[in-house]
Amino acid sequence: MKYALIREYIDQYPVALMCRVLRVSRSGYYRWLERPVSDQAQRRLEMEALIKDTYESFEAVYGAPRLAKELTELGHPCSVNYVAQIMFEQGIRALNGKGFKYPRHSLTMHNVSDNLLWRDFSACQPNEKWTTDITYIWVKDRWLYLAVVMDLFS
């Protein structure tokens, strides 16, 4: 991990300084650079590229379960958790559907009930006056709906 950090900032700081600050030897860093990539790391890099390509080919709609199934069918067996972990590390998230949009003609007020309260929100007994409301709350990448029904007596 320290060696990767040194490699990342090699253009900005001298290697000797970074090795001294991180308390690693320069020879250890240079040996690490010469070391071949392990089979596991190589497979992970290939899977990262495959996941990204498959994700983009399905227009960013597939999540980890569907991507894992698709990759397994393509001859690259992997678990859902493995795909989910790579997606999380790469910042890849499945997109939700486009959501519901009201047709233009339905925006006119056809089914509006009569105003029986006339802004008199006081009630003398339970179950005398009820009111409702609905609101939309944007959470992460989609809308959630909150519907409230309230007895005006309470």
d(CA 131, CA 117): 9
The single-letter code of the amino acid at 12 is Q
* pLDDT tens track, the chain, 154 positions: 799 999 999 999 999 999 999 999 999 999 999 998 889 999 999 999 999 999 999 988 899 999 999 999 999 999 999 999 999 999 999 987 667 776 666 556 667 778 888 888 888 999 998 988 999 998 888 889 999 999 988 8
d(CA 32, CA 9): 16
Q: How many CB atoms lie within 10 A of CB 62?
A: 22
